[in-house]
């Protein structure tokens, strides 16, 4: 989630003409938004996976930029074709596994490729279900788009590295609870106008990314679903009474802490929770229209999404603090 430094003072990979006052400090090229769907027809029961893939290659030479020499370029159209060919040959399982496969292919196929970066988003298709309760029938070949959260991964590998770096994440996980949230006892000075809120609506749109310390034997689907479950558990709590949140900061930290406690393959996790405010409407100005006493169990809120507070934190294992710059 952190922005790349605009100036790289180390100037690694500097290949410009020694007499030039300029240098190419960062470069690469690739194909964005390659949409691919893989369908498995196992008798009457069919399964699907749909990804949107972006590929980026960094070559050893910069002669394509400096001299207009295209002899080392693996065309972006060829990169697009590679996505479809590897999907047909190996299938689509998790975004992480396909990203690792693409990195290995480009590095092993083209000796002049120095670094590969793959970005993949998975489209959230779920099998249609009919009936009610846990015994509802799942359809054999019909699916519904269920964008509760968007799953993505970024897989990068340099030729000098023995294993890829895998950072996965989720975005657009919008949640809301109508009680068990407060915000009180914050700085009280001449700039403050917000009163203490002992019982408020808590709503946010969660974005999170996490880095794996290993890619061997990892069930990436399980890990992604477990991270999502940890976020929801610490936001909502048990079904009847829920869980109290004294601040967005505390809820965010508890979710990240549970992720690291339950998924040993994850070395670091980053999370952002912007406030989505719901302010009570002042009905005291309309006593002839609305009787607040009679409607004490009901109220109306005004949704306000801008401006919004933004809360974020990254939690690392103490032995893995070196990963901070990669999230």
Which residues contribute to the annotated binding site for O2? 76, 275
Distances (CA, A) of 277 to 145, 204, 222, 246, 322: 27, 8, 32, 16, 36
Catalytic residue of the set 46, 47, 76, 165: 76
Contact status, residue 284 vs residue 292, Cβ threshold 8 Å = yes
Beta bridge partners of 46: 41
User: In the structure encoding, which two tokens stand for residue 25, read together?
Assistant: 């400090």
Burial environment of residue 323 by CB neighbours within 10 A (0 to 12, 13 to 18, 19 or more): buried
> Quick check: bond before 127 cis, omega within 30?
no
Reduce the DSSP state of residue 130 to 3 states and report it: strand
Work out the burial of residue 29: count CB atoms within 10 Å of its CB; fewer than 13 is exposed, 13-18 middle, 19 or more buried.
Answer: middle
SS3 213: coil
Catalytic residue among 119, 228, 276, 277: 277
Active site residue 31: yes
List, as residue ranges, the binding site for urate.
76-77, 183, 200, 248-249, 275
Residue with tokens 């001449």: 190
Which residues are documented as binding site for 5-hydroxyisourate? Answer: 76-77, 183, 200, 248-249, 275
How many degrees, rounded to 5, is the angle at CA 88 between CA 84 and CA 90?
115
Whether 198 is catalytic: no
> Binding site membership: which residues?
76-77, 183, 200, 248-249, 275
Active site residues: 31, 76, 277
């Amino acid at each position: 989630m952190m922005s790349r430094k605009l100036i790289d003072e180390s100037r690694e990979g500097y290949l410009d003409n020694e007499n030039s006052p300029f240098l190419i400090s960062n470069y690469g090229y690739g194909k964005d938004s390659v949409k691919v769907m893989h369908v498995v027809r196992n008798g009457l029961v069919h399964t699907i996976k749909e990804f949107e893939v972006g590929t980026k290659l960094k070559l050893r030479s910069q002669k394509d930029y400096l001299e207009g020499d295209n002899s080392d370029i693996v065309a972006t159209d060829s990169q697009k074709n590679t996505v479809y060919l590897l999907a047909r040959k190996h299938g689509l399982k998790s975004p992480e596994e396909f990203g690792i496969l693409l990195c290995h292919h480009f590095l092993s196929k083209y000796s002049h490729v120095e670094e590969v970066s793959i970005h993949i988003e998975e489209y959230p298709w779920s099998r249609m279900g009919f009936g009610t309760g846990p015994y509802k029938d799942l359809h054999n070949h019909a699916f519904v788009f269920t964008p509760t959260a968007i799953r993505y991964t970024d897989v990068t590998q340099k030729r000098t590295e023995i294993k890829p770096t895998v950072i996965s994440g989720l975005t657009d996980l919008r949640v809301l609870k109508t009680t068990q949230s407060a915000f009180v006892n914050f700085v009280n000075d001449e700039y403050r106008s917000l009163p203490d809120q002992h019982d408020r609506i808590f709503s946010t749109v969660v974005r999170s990314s996490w880095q794996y310390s290993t890619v061997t034997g990892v069930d990436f689907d399980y890990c992604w679903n477990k991270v999502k479950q940890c976020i929801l558990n610490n936001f909502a709590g048990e079904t009847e009474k829920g869980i109290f949140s004294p601040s967005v900061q505390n809820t965010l930290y508890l979710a990240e802490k549970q992720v690291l406690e339950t998924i040993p393959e994850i070395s670091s996790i980053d999370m952002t929770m912007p406030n989505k405010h719901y302010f009570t409407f002042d009905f005291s100005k309309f006593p002839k229209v609305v009787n607040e006493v009679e409607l004490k169990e009901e109220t109306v809120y005004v949704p306000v999404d801008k401006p919004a507070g933004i809360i974020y934190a990254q939690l690392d294992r103490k032995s893995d603090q070196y990963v901070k710059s990669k999230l």
